[in-house]
Structure 1
Amino acid sequence: MTGGSGALGGHVARWVVGEGAGRVVLVSRGGSAPAGLVSELEGLGAEVVVVACDVSDRDAVAALVEEVEAAGDPVRAVFHAAGVGQMTGLVGMTAEEFTGVLRAKVAGAENLDAVFGDRSLDAFVLFSSISAVWGSGGQAAYAAANAHLDALAERRRARGLTATSIAWGPWAEGGMAQGTTEDLHRHGLVALAPVQAITTLHRALAEDETTLTVADVDWERFAPAFTARRPSPLLGELSDARKALTQDREEVDTGPGDAAIQLRERLSSATEPEQNRIVLELVRGEAARVLGHESSDAVKPRRGFVELGFDSLMAVEVRNRLASHTGLRLPTTLLFDFTSSAELAQHLRSELAQEMSAAAPVASAITELERMLSGLSTTDVDREDITERLQGLLTAWGGPQARITSSETLSPTTVEVDPALDAATSDEMFDLIQREFGKS
């Protein structure tokens, strides 16, 4: 077990001993093991060897395997969990840092593959990462290194050898994600309980998997944030992710609520410069809240959102808030399409002005209809015919307060009409209209 001094190595060592392994070799650069782990494994009946070895040195790996096997039975299973973490943006990464991240993961895996050659093993397990599957900010070298492990597993299989590369999500109780689990959880990645992870490892080996991804994902959080900059064909193939993205679009496409109606009322009575100021303050205020600032003064109008510290999840949170306040359907890419508060506010004001302008003729027509209906007497028209047509319009239009009776039995435009309204006579319908609109 390379990376034997790490938390993941300890969990795997306990499992293999529990499965009947009589001898475990824990390998690390420093040649140490967690306090109490050796005595715990020995208490379970295993012989434990703790050795220091740089797995990026092929001669050292070959010498280690020769020494281990000379002192006991041949090695039957290899677990490669050694690695170096990374949190450096690609632009700021040096060649030395990139090489250092790759050395333990890639060189170590290649050396183990070469030293054991075409020997038949019970297991050859590589601990990869989800960063190799869908990327991870600040972990370009780490993602590349783990992708190499996945490719190595495929290459060994092509040679007729056993190999399993597991792209792990974050583990709880240790691992390289230690100290970042809260932030990962905020982004929708739940830390795997060791028992859960080991159970999955056991199943993967029992089913002879080659490559697989194991992660506990809250798709409602993860998918919108992950696609905030661009669509993802990868997530598009996952039903849970598609469902989360569809639900996200529906939640921000609910039409104007009370806050949006109030905003429109403020804008309708304001001059264009005042409208610009109102919308700009709205954007700056919501951006400041998501960033955790007490005042919108911290969000300068011309300063870029990325420069202010926004990540994809924060961008989605601001989008959701602005969608609620404006009643507009806004994409998850909003803060990346319009990269500063001033630019975004200008876009939102333009969209609101266009929508309000489009709605003005309808509102005017409704006002005129109210005037005409209030001036009609019972003998002027067929009230029953007009009532039926009004009810038909109401049913077709629906609206924010309309209640769908059943999404399975009714068409998308079918709404449930108040029983009292449905049973109203023509005279009662006209009386209702006159009362509601203040006509006499």
Structure 2
Amino acid sequence: TPITRTAVFDVRWTPITVSENEIATVSWADLGDLGDQLPPAVVLDCPAGNDPATVRAATHGVLEALQSWLAEPRFSESVLVVRTGGAVSVAGEDISNLAGAAVGGLVRAAQTEHPGRIVLIDSDSGIDALLGGILAAEEPQVAIRDGQVHVARLGRVVSTDAPATGSFGSGDTVMITGASGYLGGLFARHLVAARGVRRLLLLSRRGESGPGATALREELRQLGAEVEFVACDVTDRAALAQVLVGVPADHPLTGVFHMAGVLDDGAIASLTPARMDAVFGPKVDAALHLHELTAELPLQAFVVFSSAAGAFGNAGQGNYAAANACLDALAAHRRAAGLPGTSLAWGLWSMDGGMAAELGDTERRRMSRSGMLPLSQEQGLALFDAATGLDTAAPVLARLDLDAMRGAGSAVPVLLSGLVPQRRKAASGASAALRARLASTPDGERLGVLVEIVRGQVATILGHRNANVIAPDRPFSELGFDSLSAVEFRNALATATGLRLPATAVFDYPSPQALAEYLAGQFGGHRDSEPATELSENSIRNALQTIPLARLRDAGLLDALMKLTNGQDSQDDTDQTVTDESIDELDIDGLIDLAYNNSSED
């Protein structure tokens, strides 16, 4: 199967039904006025704007809030709701808030590192009436339009044979930023050899004195192109404007390919405003400068190189995810204004060159476990040609091993649940199996089972084939954990056990043995707790308030509740007085009231 038919995706917003269930909230600004008892949700409203200064300020502010939220133990039982407006395009609408889009990328990375702690909502109106239902749906990000809740899902795009973006004449000039990089050289050759470009303006910090520039110029000239290297810091708007002024009128600039970028990976807790800015400069600032400075030029193509990290929210890449999410939004924003715009959200490239070559063994293992396979040069070039011919602002170009994800038995990103629908079932099954195993294990042997589980997860994260090499009493600090590995390990162990574990688990319980003893105490606490023998109306009401009626029906519980409302046992379906249609018109309160009224009449 051609790579162009299996590795091109886009993010789609699908409507879902949630119950109208208003819950207690407090705004982030008022958080300091509360004591230890927090409401179920704290709402952080984000500033909006499209200029580089506002984008940076917004992401700096949200980063600080995220770090405070995740570091404070008393916040652990509440959810942080980060609210934006106009930051996603639900039905082809304009993205009017690039700062909010960048915040979205940052938040998605934080969600990956700390599942269940944060929800991202983009809304055109108030969220109070729907918030309880949204939280019950366990969706990490939603968009609300006219009172309708939508969720993000990755869908496959079947590429056509449409011509690639840009029809370049022999006298046209095409600009590439980041030209000294691996991808800059690769695509410069491709644009000349396959797309007919004959005049290239190549920008990099060092220009013609950069590594490989002389050889690249000669190779491009042999392919029939005129080449000009320019030393330019693309984060400097004035310098970039000067370069554009220098383009000859008889060879107008008709194509922009923005490939500049840097990596500075780190877990959310370790990021700083300076580390955010280091990534934003060549990615976001430069793209926004190009967007503004070329607005009046006769461009046929405006293509920015982004990353799937923006859509997925890769752990350890909060700054990179934020920057690339902003680029994806810029492409949609340009299209809404009638300008050309495409953001190519690349997955993992092969390790031969580019930023992927900078990844260490730990990062490569992490990418492999994610189910994302590397793209070869030939595959990347084919995807480039296919994607730039699509009517899609921000296609995701990635080789995803969906079969491996289906069989992994662990949580799959919600974004992929339309392609791998077993996500929640598989995750809950793993913890249920462990609980069943512990229940059938003698008391004196349960700790050993948990030590085995912990050592197995450590071996997986650190790339060991045999868990026996992990000594139970050896400190995690000596096993090769970094901050991101610790987060990934905590999340994997939480999935395996079904327990909510502190972010500092490997520091609080510094060896497999110590952590297993902590887990044993947690499971012990669950066993010792006695189930309630009587359930009050309020306790049932509170429990069911968080469950959408559609989910009760899907779980096979709604019919049982309907029978309860009619005072029937499970064997008698006659004389049913409550119909499916009338049930669908009720909320949970109405259903429970009906149940209690009918049962009291009996």
The higher radius of gyration belongs to 1
Residue 199 of structure 2 corresponds to residue 16 of structure 1: no
More strand per residue: 1 or 2? 2
Aligned to 2:386: 203
For residue 177 of structure 1, report the CA deviation from its aligned partner: 1.9
Going from structure 1 to structure 2, the CA distance change for 1:256 and 1:53 (only over 3 Å counts) comes to: closer
| Mapping 1:151-162, distance limit 5 Å | 151-162=329-340
Q: For 1:170, what is the secondary structure of its paired residue? A: coil
Contact 2:302–2:340 under 8 Å retained in 1 = yes
Measured in 2, the distance between the counterparts of 1:289 and 1:98 equals 32
How big is each residue's C-alpha offset from its partner over 1:232-257, in whole Å with a ceiling of 9 and x where there is no partner? 54233x22x22566567668878999
Measured in 1, the distance between the counterparts of 2:409 and 2:331 equals 27
Letter in 1 for 2:370: H
Going from structure 1 to structure 2, the CA distance change for 1:284 and 1:96 (only over 3 Å counts) comes to: closer
Contact 2:234–2:282 under 8 Å retained in 1 = yes
* Structure 2: stretches of 5+ with no match in the other structure: 1-175, 506-514, 530-602
Q: For 1:42, what is the secondary structure of its paired residue? A: helix
Aligned to 1:114: 292
Aligned to 1:86: 264
Aligned to 2:364: 182
Q: For 1:137, what is the secondary structure of its paired residue? A: coil
* Structure 1: stretches of 5+ with no match in the other structure: 321-329, 355-440
How big is each residue's C-alpha offset from its partner over 1:266-296, in whole Å with a ceiling of 9 and x where there is no partner? x44xxx4x24543444345434544444411
Going from structure 1 to structure 2, the CA distance change for 1:192 and 1:226 (only over 3 Å counts) comes to: farther
Q: For 1:126, what is the secondary structure of its paired residue? A: strand
Measured in 2, the distance between the counterparts of 1:226 and 1:46 equals 52
Contact 1:38–1:48 under 8 Å retained in 2 = yes
Contact 2:283–2:323 under 8 Å retained in 1 = yes
How many residue pairs get aligned? The number is 326
Structure scoring higher RCO (CA < 8 A, sep ≥ 6) equals 2
Residue 221 of structure 2 corresponds to residue 42 of structure 1: yes
Identity of aligned residues (%): 33
Measured in 2, the distance between the counterparts of 1:174 and 1:79 equals 19
Letter in 1 for 2:397: V
Contact 1:129–1:168 under 8 Å retained in 2 = yes
Letter in 2 for 1:22: R
Contact 2:335–2:341 under 8 Å retained in 1 = yes
Going from structure 1 to structure 2, the CA distance change for 1:353 and 1:129 (only over 3 Å counts) comes to: same
| Mapping 1:304-323, distance limit 5 Å | 309-312=485-488, 316=492
Letter in 1 for 2:448: I
Spell out structure 1 runs of 4+ moving beyond 3 A: 219-228, 243-257, 275-294, 305-320, 333-340, 346-354
Going from structure 1 to structure 2, the CA distance change for 1:99 and 1:9 (only over 3 Å counts) comes to: same
More helix per residue: 1 or 2? 1
Residue 465 of structure 2 corresponds to residue 282 of structure 1: no
| Mapping 1:160-309, distance limit 5 Å | 160-172=338-350, 173-180=352-359, 182-183=364-365, 184-219=367-402, 228=411, 232-236=413-417, 238-239=418-419, 241-243=420-422, 264=440, 267-268=441-442, 272=443, 274-287=444-457, 289-290=459-460, 291=462, 292=464, 293-298=469-474, 309=485
Contact 2:201–2:227 under 8 Å retained in 1 = yes
Contact 2:198–2:224 under 8 Å retained in 1 = yes
Contact 1:187–1:225 under 8 Å retained in 2 = no
| RMSD between aligned residues | 3.7
* TM-score, normalization by structure 2: 0.48
Going from structure 1 to structure 2, the CA distance change for 1:109 and 1:309 (only over 3 Å counts) comes to: closer
Q: For 2:306, what is the secondary structure of its paired residue? A: strand
For residue 138 of structure 1, report the CA deviation from its aligned partner: 2.5
Q: For 1:177, what is the secondary structure of its paired residue? A: helix
